[in-house]
Structure 1
Amino acid sequence: MRLLFLNHNVAWSGTFFRAFPLGRALVAHGHEITVVTTSPTARIAQRRRRRDGVDLIETPDLFWGRGRTGWDPWNTLHRSLGLRHGDFDAIHAFDCRPAVILPALFLAARGNLPLFMDWADWWGRGGTIAERPGHLVNRLIGGVETWFEEAFRTHARGTTVISRALEGRAVQLGVPTDAILNFPNGCEHEGIRPHDRERSRVALSIDDDAEVVLHVGLIYPRDIELLFGAMQRVCRERPRARLVLLGNPRTPIPQERLPADALIIPGFVDLDLLQLWLGTADCCVLPLSDTICNRGRWPAKLSDYLCAGRSVVMPRVGDAAEWIDAHRAGWTSAPAVASLSEALLAALDSGDRASEAGERARRLAEGPLSWSSVAEGVDAFYRRVLLST
């Protein structure tokens, strides 16, 4: 099939990391995939290129910052008119921001094409909007965000979701259960590989006897409170414990809550350094407070942890913890400071069991959660839905 994927994010950010690797895996299944995403910088002209067998189009956008996330009328118009002569068999819209859903509906109607919609974040009604900084902006756009998130769901012939929470919400909006596929984000296990702990620590000047707990990327305010509350106890009981925060957490870091030598903040790093830092870790942590936002999402950083072959410590919130428990790839806890701290202490005190959990994590990344395996399920879903209609 010739499939058009529409994504609102700037290329190489957000849900692009769901649409593009899925498209690349589907190419290996014999499909022709075009992924349309937003250019990081262009304001007038689009950029088109081939990447890993995928036809990648970056469309221009006149906005900046948080505005450059699918709200621009020029981006929307450029996609609608620029793609109207495209030769596609089906369209898959990844989330429902205007620059995705409006071109999708227009192109589907114009070409009488089947439309699929993906739902990968719980935005409105107490979801992601409520967790992010900038309460005034969030209040102003919250109603519009929720309307776009919900209003068009029954227009799709097939719906894909990232969690059971979003599956339930889709059903409440009138989407038939037999037209829904729940699939997690896959793992790019060929791009991120396990690195030797000792060599990684030598390369990054980390003491061999340090007990490294590592976190990657974005963290919401309530989640960072959970993490630092747990790490306070861990550092009291294990003075060699170190918390490494990689990337941009996009929330203030309460550095005063931990001893100065217990917190390492490298900031944003490239892929090679990311793999080295992952290699230093005794365990990787995924702090999730029990919020609507966290129940509805699949944190992308989990894939990095699994690919790196590191044991995972996380609360039982959302669907991801069930995979960790089922495959014995780490330790799970209740979404509370005391419980998360106990899970972290258990991981740091486990010796060889942490390494064994990391090996199982890597097998999970190479097997059921590889993008190739995920794409098989999506491919079968496309064919089932199209045959039934």
Structure 2
Amino acid sequence: MARSLNILMSLFTRRYEGTFYRALPWASFLVSQGHRVTILCTSKDHLFRTTVSEENGVRIVETPALFSGRYVMTRLCGMYGWGPLDIFARWREACRGGYDVAVAFEHHFHVVLPLWLAGRKNIPIWIADSCDHYGEGGFREFEYSPYRLYGLYQLIGWPFRKLMDHLELFIRRRADAVTVISSYIRDRVIGQGIPAGKVHLIPGSADVESIHVQPKTDACQQQGLDPDLHYALFFGAGQFDVDFSLEAFERVQKKIPDSRFVVIGKKDPAVTRRATELGLQKKLIQTGWIEDGQLGGWLACADVCLLPMKDNAPNHARWPNKIGFYMAAGRPVVATDVNDIGPLIRQREIGRSGPVDVQAFADQIIELFENPNACVEMGRRARETAEREFSLPIHGSELERLFLTLAGAHHA
């Protein structure tokens, strides 16, 4: 029988945000295989207090959020996670937990510093995981440039940005292995001098256990939608580049007036405002936050699922989690061809992928709206791809083998 490991996963995010949805499925699978897993994340609700709870058998420790820097430090260097109480709580957990393996999700200060302070004597095996391009030319250049006083932030934030760049290299060089979500990040990590044999590409998983294929008519009736209309659907907590889809959908509307644009996720005023500017306010359906159990029903209402990405470094680095949900729901996908998603769609024939061009994107949506039989076949292949290549047991087993191999080498 394989050895049972005690694993610490340190996240830079808060619970139910971003990378939490990469860590929790991994952790849940590892627990099902007999391992113990603790996830560290910053609290949404408490500035001074650490709270402990459990989800799917995974121990969740939420650390204090005081002075996390989510606003000022994000503008200065593109990364938060500077709270002293947060860092202290994570260091204490790393020292006292008796962990065999630590996984550092990204290189934020409150992720790397506690691990470094705890040292190898407390946690002998380190893994660095990376899902985004945070360094020069990455998120901090694209996501935070619209702020007023941006030039001042750039000037004052220079030493903090240099520190974060150092921590990125530090954790990757010190780690026993580096897991990455995309080929772009894999190539970037290897380009930083990390040996290729140390880098493991594990893309996002598809939740084929919770998300099932459902008939569109039944799903629309459950959600109060007209099943005779055509629905293009965008899902995402972070509604990156949805404005691109809206501009394309304006052109779709001119050709297919009985179509609607569905956005699952928070009701972003910027999305509402842009839809109004384009005259689409009556064609836009914003669900707001929904319960996890409702997601499959909403996805099943779609004729086409959308994955718009503009041509920039952060998008090249990404593996959007939404592709896994789209495939699990058995729906065809229309995407722009800027990262690993484009080749996947073409090679598995599960939708359409093309240039970052509004008219081309609109034409692909129209093509699928007008060919429902093709949509059904693409959706069938999408579900098969999700089950065969992207299910959690496949990716979780790969991760478990990596951990056990490193643990075996350490104790040899």
Give TM-score, length-normalised by structure 2.
Answer: 0.87
Equivalent residue letter for 1:219 = Q
Deviation at 1:250, TM superposition (A): 5.2
Q: Which runs of 5+ in 1 are unaligned?
A: none
Please say if residues 122 and 166 of structure 1, whose CA atoms lie closer than 8 Å, have aligned partners that are also in contact.
yes
Q: Which runs of 5+ in 2 are unaligned?
A: 75-79
Deviation at 1:312, TM superposition (A): 1.1
Does residue 169 of the first structure (1) align with residue 188 of the second (2)?
yes
Q: Deviations over 1:59-83 (max 9, x none)?
A: 2221478359523121011110233
Residues 19 and 108 of structure 1, relative CA distance in 2, 3 Å threshold:
farther
CA distance in 1, matches of 2:11, 2:230: 40
Residues 45 and 169 of structure 1, relative CA distance in 2, 3 Å threshold:
same
User: Kindly, what percent of the aligned residue pairs are identical?
Assistant: 26
1:71 counterpart residue number = 82
Deviates more, 1:282-291 or 1:49-58: 49-58
Out of 187, 203, 207, the position equivalent to 1:188 is 207
Out of 259, 263, 273, the position equivalent to 1:241 is 259
Equivalent residue letter for 1:301 = K
Out of 100, 113, 128, the position equivalent to 2:139 is 128
Please say if residues 69 and 82 of structure 2, whose CA atoms lie closer than 8 Å, have aligned partners that are also in contact.
no
2:334 counterpart residue number = 313
Residues 328 and 177 of structure 1, relative CA distance in 2, 3 Å threshold:
same
Out of 65, 68, 73, the position equivalent to 1:61 is 65
CA distance in 1, matches of 2:54, 2:42: 16
Deviation at 1:322, TM superposition (A): 2.4
1:294 counterpart residue number = 315
Out of 5, 11, 24, the position equivalent to 1:7 is 11
Aligned residues: 387
1:93 counterpart residue number = 104
Partner-residue secondary structure (3-state), 1:191: coil
Please say if residues 153 and 173 of structure 1, whose CA atoms lie closer than 8 Å, have aligned partners that are also in contact.
no
CA distance in 2, matches of 1:224, 1:55: 35
Deviation at 1:148, TM superposition (A): 3.7
CA distance in 2, matches of 1:361, 1:249: 28
Deviation at 1:270, TM superposition (A): 2.2
Deviation at 1:188, TM superposition (A): 2.1
2:247 counterpart residue number = 229
Query: What is the RMSD computed on CA atoms of the aligned residues?
Result: 2.3
Give TM-score, length-normalised by structure 1.
Answer: 0.91
Residues 268 and 344 of structure 1, relative CA distance in 2, 3 Å threshold:
same
Does residue 209 of the first structure (1) align with residue 220 of the second (2)?
no
CA distance in 2, matches of 1:324, 1:374: 19
CA distance in 2, matches of 1:27, 1:78: 23
Please say if residues 179 and 385 of structure 1, whose CA atoms lie closer than 8 Å, have aligned partners that are also in contact.
no
Please say if residues 68 and 81 of structure 2, whose CA atoms lie closer than 8 Å, have aligned partners that are also in contact.
no
1:43 counterpart residue number = 47
Deviation at 1:307, TM superposition (A): 2.1
Deviates more, 1:184-193 or 1:64-73: 64-73
CA distance in 1, matches of 2:189, 2:131: 12
Partner-residue secondary structure (3-state), 2:96: coil
CA distance in 2, matches of 1:197, 1:63: 47
Deviation at 1:151, TM superposition (A): 4.2
Deviates more, 1:127-136 or 1:352-361: 127-136
Deviates more, 1:268-277 or 1:15-24: 268-277
Q: Deviations over 1:285-323 (max 9, x none)?
A: 000111100110111222221222211111121112222
Please say if residues 9 and 103 of structure 2, whose CA atoms lie closer than 8 Å, have aligned partners that are also in contact.
yes
CA distance in 1, matches of 2:373, 2:157: 49
Residues 129 and 265 of structure 1, relative CA distance in 2, 3 Å threshold:
same
1:179 counterpart residue number = 198
Deviation at 1:9, TM superposition (A): 0.8
